Structure 1
Amino acid sequence: MNDALAALYPQHLATLRERTDTALARGGFEHLVVPAGRPITKFLDDLDYPFVVNPHFKHWLPLLDAPGSWLVYTPGEKPRLVFLQPRDYWHVVPEAPQGYWVDHFDIVVVRKPADAIAELPSPARSAIIGDRDCGFDQVCANNPPAVIDHLHYHRAYKTPYELELMREASRRGTRGHRAAEHAFREGASELGIHQAYLAAVDQLDAELPYASIVGLNEHGAVLHYTNFDRHAPAESRSFLIDAGAGASGYASDITRTYAGRDAGEFQALIDAVDAAQQSFVARVRPGQSYPDLHVHAHHALAGVLRDHGFIRMSPESAVESGVSSAFFPHGLGHGIGLQVHDVGGFQAAETGGTIAKPEGHPYLRLTRQLEAGMVVTIEPGIYFIDMLLAELKDKPFAGDIDWARVDAFRQYGGIRIEDDVVCREGEPENMTRDAFALL
């Protein structure tokens, strides 16, 4: 894989330089300065939280464990890496940079965090992108909107180099999903399933792009369930797993739902959601409004609810009345890349602005029109959430819901199917399904 990345990286770097040149010119700055960041110390403690690198830093180079380091770019010049390699016998010292990307940078090694300051350009003439823990009082992040808006807007368009890393993240994630399904079939607990997942992807919890969701039975109705029961239930009727993996800082985000033994009707519902999900994936094409696709998904899933006997109303009535939102209460998906919920999802243009969410759909994370090069998740679901269903019982249309059938399905929690999809001219590329097929 390194040979492929080595071949693709120069073009990726050229694209970043071009975008940054424009962004700096618009903001009136001469330099881009990006701190990798520093570990955050726990309150009233001398231990740190796991280090998470600044996404703007790892956009330029695949260096995830370099706290205290800095990236400096000046248009027309070779990018510089100020690399902190401290003298330290308490911790593992980061190895000297190596790999296919190092020849594209001027690299300066410093031994103390403060020594890096002398290697940075004037803060007054620099766009410094980071958080409040990124550096020192002398060099504070200013995050100029003109620069940020341009970079975030264009980050939606992935380079071939980025797509190759995202395919690898998908391959790692699907290996984990296969191992998790096997553990579920063997009767493991939620914690045991998660441990099987980690072993298969060969990553620690802190290295995953997000906290895994591993829910058995009714826990599948908790959208962000992360409790990990230590003991297996007496009967594992259903299993929902939402878990991804990373590759050089790029994320995959994959969800699957499985039925246990003797859950034929629930399996039929899974199959219906899966078929609907694949039909939504097929619409990931240039020119497609993502909010329109989200609303279309509501109509399609309302049709599934009607066909499977949960409601006795038209899909149009189910969407207009809010019934569909009780069963499908989240957005259809989001952008993905350097972050699992990538930035720029609401931007109207490279100069800023916001595209509003459709009325009645507050949890949608992406409102842009799809264009070639974007990568999005498609993750429809149908859930049986007690709180939301209770709110329907007092509504005038409550008689159009088969409550006995709904109650029979509460024991399964819910269904979500999620793939990572590349928008291309012509047929979309489903990185998730392709990775599963390789297994």
Structure 2
Amino acid sequence: MFKQEIYSARRSQLKATVNQGLILLLGNEESSMNYKDNLYHFRQDSSFLYFFGIDRPSLAAVIDLDNDREIVFGDELTMDDIIWTGPKETIREQAAKAGVATTQPWAALESLLKKALAAGQTIHFLPPYRADNAQKLADWLTIPYHTLKSRASVPLIKAVIAQRAIKAPEEIAEIEKAIGITVDMQLEAIRHAQEGMTESQLAGRLNGVAISAGGNLSFPIILTVNGHVLHNHYQDTVLQDGQMVLCDCGAETNMHYAGDLTRTFPVNGSFSTRQRMVYDIVAAAQQAAIDALRPGILFRDVHLLACEKLAEGLKDLGLMKGDVKAAVAEGAHTLFFQCGLGHMMGLDVHDMEDLGEQYVGYTETLQKSTEFGLKSLRLGRALEPGFVLTIEPGLYFIPELIDSWKASKVHTDFINYDKVDAFRDFGGIRIEEDFLITDSGSRLLGKPLYKTASAIEALR
């Protein structure tokens, strides 16, 4: 946990923003794998962690704005529990470390909520992303299960996002720690990949790096020789000469702050001429986006700038043609770049997206697009000092998409399909790094990791 004063200050800021009613924040439960006592790794809810810092299951907290009180709800360990888990700090002791003086048993929460409803108090809650928490809310608040997300408190959502979006120095230190571990994961992949091993064997080494550093993975490892499948997790596919490995991985510290980095490298140690040309296009687009980062700029515009740089490179390669700006405006580049340039990062690797992408990445005046490609841009709003985000352009040659567009004659003014056909078996390339927006620009977070084609080859 951070210092008590940090959690108290966070809750005070929240209370000043949401100034009436009752705020209910749910922690997460344990989840069983295949029978009750065989459990998945526990991960606490990030907003609960942000405001209360207690990393244990089966907790909830109430901030009663009308009656100026804060309560953590949960049941202390019984002797039967202690036999299996050993002694632990009490909930009361942990709550005190977060600056909360009052704890009550779990059963008292339902009674408090019923009284609040009867008294006409507004009960603010965040949209649930786990079925067990959704069911609790439905039962306690007598709200139909399928309507819960639409009934979540927009004032609370906006207040939480406003706070969590701006990273404090202690948070940035944790994020940099996570990125440092993630760099070590990437180096493990780049240095030890070899022809004949499987994707799973390589990913297992990365998993070990994350866990041995005291934390865990911030998301399931994406590691594949089929890099054109955007979120292709490792399988028993064997690495072969001439292929590239796309490795997108992230570590999470024991405080649950995330890192997220991607590198693409050749199995045999050297990029082919064609692979290197495409790699350099992606690298140039990433650098253009990095150079554009500053407070006040719309991230959507940074995304479109990167798209134009990708299209320029593809035009030089002969795969695209015509006016680059017009091609991007029409969405022709999305045959090769179907996703967004980046996302917020913090306590979640896709920070706060459980609260709704429209609230996290957009505003009332800047709405998320429904167009192919742009609809996958999670962040579009103007950047502010304190934001932490990823920059991850890529080029992906998806045979099914190429066939569909070619058959329908989509964007023939901008795409040379005959030349694109020669890249059907290419796969995909992505390069990703994490940045802090500063008062004057941006700063690369974490220790540097080689990313030019030549540097990657030297590591191989």
Q: TM-score range by the shorter chain?
A: 0.7 to 0.9
Cα distance change on mapping 1:283 and 1:411 into 2, 3 Å: same
Identical counterparts, % of pairs? 25
Aligned positions of 1:305-316 closer than 5 A: 305-316=314-325
Local SS of the residue matching 2:389? strand
Which range is displaced more, 261-270 or 272-281?
A: 261-270
The answer to whether residue 1 in structure 2 is matched with residue 17 in structure 1 is no
CA distance in 2: counterparts of 1:163 and 1:269, whole angstroms: 33
Cα distance change on mapping 1:238 and 1:407 into 2, 3 Å: farther
The answer to whether residue 366 in structure 2 is matched with residue 355 in structure 1 is yes
Per the TM alignment, residue 330 of structure 1 is displaced from its structure 2 partner at its CA by 0.6
Per the TM alignment, residue 49 of structure 1 is displaced from its structure 2 partner at its CA by 5.1
Question: Partner of 1:155 in structure 2?
Answer: 164
The answer to whether residue 42 in structure 2 is matched with residue 63 in structure 1 is no
CA contact (8 A) 1:259 1:267 kept: no
Query: Structure 2, unaligned stretches of length 5 or more?
Result: 143-147, 452-458
For each residue in 1:208-252, what CA deviation from the matched residue of structure 2 results, as whole angstroms up to 9, or x when unmatched? Answer: 222221111xx10101112x2224144351010111111212222
Question: Partner of 1:229 in structure 2?
Answer: 235
The answer to whether residue 360 in structure 2 is matched with residue 371 in structure 1 is no
CA contact (8 A) 2:395 2:429 kept: yes
CA contact (8 A) 1:23 1:151 kept: no
CA distance in 1: counterparts of 2:90 and 2:180, whole angstroms: 26
Cα distance change on mapping 1:348 and 1:231 into 2, 3 Å: closer
**1:92 equivalent among 85, 93, 99:** 85
The answer to whether residue 435 in structure 2 is matched with residue 428 in structure 1 is no
- Amino acid across the alignment from 1:412: F
**2:309 equivalent among 283, 300, 316:** 300
CA distance in 2: counterparts of 1:260 and 1:33, whole angstroms: 50
CA contact (8 A) 1:173 1:244 kept: yes
CA distance in 2: counterparts of 1:13 and 1:67, whole angstroms: 19
Aligned positions of 1:26-425 closer than 5 A: 28-29=20-21, 31-40=22-31, 50-64=41-55, 66-74=56-64, 80-87=71-78, 88=81, 91-92=84-85, 95-96=88-89, 103-106=97-100, 113-114=106-107, 123-124=116-117, 125=121, 126-129=123-126, 131=128, 133-134=132-133, 135=136, 137-138=139-140, 143-185=152-194, 187-202=196-211, 207-216=216-225, 219-226=226-233, 228-235=234-241, 237-247=243-253, 248-261=255-268, 262-265=270-273, 266-343=275-352, 345-347=357-359, 353=364, 355-358=366-369, 360=371, 361-394=374-407, 395=409, 398=412, 401-403=415-417, 405-425=419-439
Per the TM alignment, residue 197 of structure 1 is displaced from its structure 2 partner at its CA by 0.5
CA distance in 1: counterparts of 2:29 and 2:295, whole angstroms: 39
Q: TM-score, normalised by structure 2?
A: 0.79
Per the TM alignment, residue 89 of structure 1 is displaced from its structure 2 partner at its CA by 6.2
Local SS of the residue matching 2:219? coil
Between the two proteins, the alignment pairs up a number of residues equal to 422
Which range is displaced more, 426-435 or 168-177?
A: 426-435
- Amino acid across the alignment from 2:223: V
CA contact (8 A) 1:210 1:340 kept: yes
CA distance in 2: counterparts of 1:190 and 1:201, whole angstroms: 17
CA contact (8 A) 1:241 1:256 kept: yes
For each residue in 1:87-139, what CA deviation from the matched residue of structure 2 results, as whole angstroms up to 9, or x when unmatched? Answer: 226853673169999534236677x7436667989543453446362357447
Query: Structure 1, unaligned stretches of length 5 or more?
Result: none
Local SS of the residue matching 2:166? coil
Local SS of the residue matching 1:154? helix
- Amino acid across the alignment from 1:37: N
CA contact (8 A) 1:81 1:105 kept: no
Superposed CA RMSD in Å reads: 3.7
Cα distance change on mapping 1:397 and 1:82 into 2, 3 Å: closer
Per the TM alignment, residue 342 of structure 1 is displaced from its structure 2 partner at its CA by 2.3
